[in-house]
Amino acid sequence: MDNSLNLVAFDCGNSSIRTILCRFDGKKVVSELILQEPNEMTVSGGYYYWDMPRIFGILKKGLSMAAEKADKIDSAGICTWGVDFQLSDDDDFLEKALCYRNTIGEEQLSRLPEKIKRDMFYRTGILCDKINSIYMLRGMQEHMPSVMERAKKIFLVPDIFVYMFTGKEMNEPSELSTTQMLDVRTMAISQEQCEYAGVSPELFSEIGRHGRLIGNIKREILDEIGIAYDIPFVCVPSHDTACAVMAIPSGEEKYLFVSSGTWALIGAQCPEPVVNEKVLDARLTNETGAFGRTTLLRNSAGMFIVQRLKAEYENETGSKISWNDFTALADDYTGEIRTFDVNDGRLFNPEVMVRQICAMISPSQEEETAKGGYCWPEILASTYASLGDSYAETLSTVKECTKETYREVYIVGGGSKNAAINQRCADRIKMPVVACDMECSSVGNAVVQIAYFHPEYSYERLRGIIVDSLQVKRYDPKE
């Protein structure tokens, strides 16, 4: 029997929109990047938005290109970033999808007393965070009341594209947990959280189940891109962190991880949520993972800082630079490395990232800058060291909260290629760091799609496919 499958994994992040073709030969998955386009916020009327029609057009183009590469596409699935959403009435989507980097949510959270925040954590298992969807919903009641009056359904970002592709209304559980509207222990929408946000629980749709069929891609879409056969769309862990954690090549059920992308999601996979005072004090949160697992983690600053620095370097020099060459600039710095708090609020979305970092590591450098430009090797060396320290500090906290013994740390995502950050993390936590190649989210996406075709495969069997599929690089502590 031929067990081979051609699986399309859409991986849509804050900085890029990617289509990956994953080929399963019955034993392992081999991935091939088919299309990658940049993703950027747009600004309108003083708010940051995402351009959903543009993103959907790129996803359709990627599907068409993947179909040209393969004899047949057997299924598709999507993962994206968390928290952001669009609302709809009975006819269409309403206001464009607001970006979490707006200040609407932060305004609402800043008004909450500590006791209410604590109650919300114990009610849902999710830490109060300014980017959680619940605060955007609450804020829209003030800023966009006419939209909220008409709202009948909420679609998180991946749910939007599922609806566009299939016409099916669904809320996927890992993504839904980032709203702070879901009790991650019971997997039920919280009535109390809905009352705070000023919405009805009926705003939410049926919660999807991983490895199950959502529906076939609409015939008119397939006709538009020249595909004559049906393509099932499968429910996968659509928060990209959950997909990446699913694809960690560990033979253990419990493990430490850093999902290093625009954000760094730092934590451990656990069999169930951990809701207690120690977790609350540590500012950890329980997001829903693949197949009912839990990712106990902290949402921390990640490669967004480096992405902004690269863009500003290119603007200063007037020329493009590859990621490898940009990262290597740090190797030219031999002086004292001064670190900074990568989660400082000044770095959330500054007008000029490099200026803020300079002010934090060397206030006098502004004068030096006026003379001859920023000292980029020092800035990058400090940034990488600061990120590595942040990862290690949070991982140590997670270890204390879970009371588990771990042998190593796994780093996945785009940032896993940064050797300086990986080595710094290993040195600080005094544990080996295992960096996986960049396609973890896509491989996790694809392996859950395999479960649709092979419901007899156990969770352990699926993880065995992952171990056989991914290459890793090991960083042992040097200090």
Element (H, E) at 188: strand 188-189
What is the token pair recorded at 385? 């060291």
Is the Cβ–Cβ distance between 380 and 325 less than 8 Å?
no
pLDDT of residue 439: 80
* Full-model pTM: 0.88
Neighbour count for residue 179 (Cβ, 10 Å): 26
pLDDT tens per residue, range 45-67: 999 999 999 999 999 999 999 99
**How far lies 155's CA from each of 85, 189, 217, 265, in Å?**
5, 14, 18, 23
Q: Is residue 237 very low, low, confident or very high in pLDDT (cuts 50, 70, 90)?
A: very high
Is the pLDDT at 459 greater than 80? The verdict is yes
Is the Cβ–Cβ distance between 230 and 213 less than 8 Å?
no
Work out the angle between the directed axes of helices 52-69 and 157-166 (0-180°, nearest 10).
60
pLDDT of residue 365: 55
How many CA atoms lie within 13 Å of 146's alpha carbon, on the beta-carbon side? 2
pLDDT of residue 364: 60
Could you tell me which residues come within 8 angstroms of residue 436 by beta carbon, excluding any fewer than 6 positions away?
247, 248, 249, 410, 411, 412, 416, 470, 471, 472
DSSP string across 296-326: EEEEEE-THHHHHHHHHHHHHHTS---HHHH
Mean pLDDT over 82-92 rounds to 95
Task: Report how far residue 108's alpha carbon sits from residue 90's, in angstroms, rounded to the nearest whole number.
Answer: 28
Is the pLDDT at 106 greater than 50? The verdict is yes
Could you tell me which residues come within 8 angstroms of residue 376 by beta carbon, excluding any fewer than 6 positions away?
313, 329
HEC letters along 30-96: EEEEEEEEECCCEEECCEEEECHHHHHHHHHHHHHHHHHHCCCCCEEEEEECCCCEEEECCCCECCC
Is the pLDDT at 111 greater than 80? The verdict is yes
Phi, psi of 263, rounded to the nearest 5 degrees? -105, 155
Q: Is residue 95 very low, low, confident or very high in pLDDT (cuts 50, 70, 90)?
A: confident
> Angle CA(302)–CA(306)–CA(309) in degrees, nearest 5?
145
Could you tell me which residues come within 8 angstroms of residue 129 by beta carbon, excluding any fewer than 6 positions away?
109, 180, 285, 299
Phi, psi of 217, rounded to the nearest 5 degrees? -65, 140
Three-class SS of residue 269?
Answer: strand
pLDDT of residue 170: 97
What is the token pair recorded at 50? 């995402």
DSSP at 263: E
End-to-end alpha carbon distance in the chain: 52
Task: Report how far residue 271's alpha carbon sits from residue 269's, in angstroms, rounded to the nearest whole number.
Answer: 7
